[in-house]
Amino acid sequence: MRKIIFSIFLLFAFILSGCSSSTTSDEVKLDGTKKASYYQMAVQYVEKLENHYQTNTSIKDDSSVIQNAIESYNHARSDIGRMDLKTDKDQNGIPDAIHFTSITKNKDNDYVITITMKGSKHNADEMLTINPDDNAILGLSTTVDYSRSELMGQAAKNMVIGMGTTFTILLFLWFVVWLMGKMIGKQEVPATVSEQTNENEMDDLQLVAVITAAIAASREETSTDGFIVRSIHRKQ
């Protein structure tokens, strides 16, 4: 039993490690000024998303990228918890709750600026994808940094829900089959058997009469009163 539990644990760990591992990207080497401008751009979008979340203030950009960014941020915001974006001890225009992580290049040679937001419940990464030629925004998403135990707990919860749903459906199908069997079993099968028995008895009487007449004819007798057929054996 312990080996089975340990094997399941290793399987979950392998799946989670595969899901949580990020694709390899190349670090972009930029001068300090250029790097700071990209980070500042990402911070500004985080502040806009946070302001929209807190006050429901509309963002003056109805593109699909921004709408998806709002949906992603709002979905993750409750798991981040309280986040202070006003305190700036260094007075550099960057909130203390935000830390720079990296600027990488994806397979399409676009820049991916990643900053980390510190929350009271979880940290989260905000990833801004831009075209380095014209700084056009191609993507903006929020990813909560869940712990390994939380990921395994969620996976176990999903597994239990899936197994419970499957068991419920199978139980329902079993009940339907059982009910159909009960309904079919109520048909009058004995009447058919009785009719078949009566037909067999009539066939036997006719056969007795034919045999008796044949014996009487072979003996050239006109009466069959002296003949008695005691049994008939059917050949299988």
In the block, residue with structure tokens 């676009």: 110
Report domain extents, the chain.
25-145, 150-187, 192-236
**pLDDT tens per residue across span 16-31:** 555 544 444 678 888 8
Which of 226, 228, 223 shows the shortest CA–CA distance to 208?
228
Residue 227 has pLDDT above 70, yes or no: no
CA 151 from centre of chain: 16
* Average pLDDT for the chain: 79
- The mean-pLDDT minimum among 39-48, 53-62, 164-173 falls in 53-62
Helix/strand/coil for 116: strand
Distance CA 104, CA 125 (A): 14
DSSP string, 172-208: HHHHHHHHHHHHHHTS-HHHHHHHHHHHHHHHHHHHH
- State residue 114's pLDDT score: 94
Q: To which H or E segment does residue 102 belong? A: strand 98-105
pTM for the model stands at 0.56
Cα 115 from chain centre: 32
What tokens were used for 98? 């935000």
What's the one-letter identity of residue 105?
K
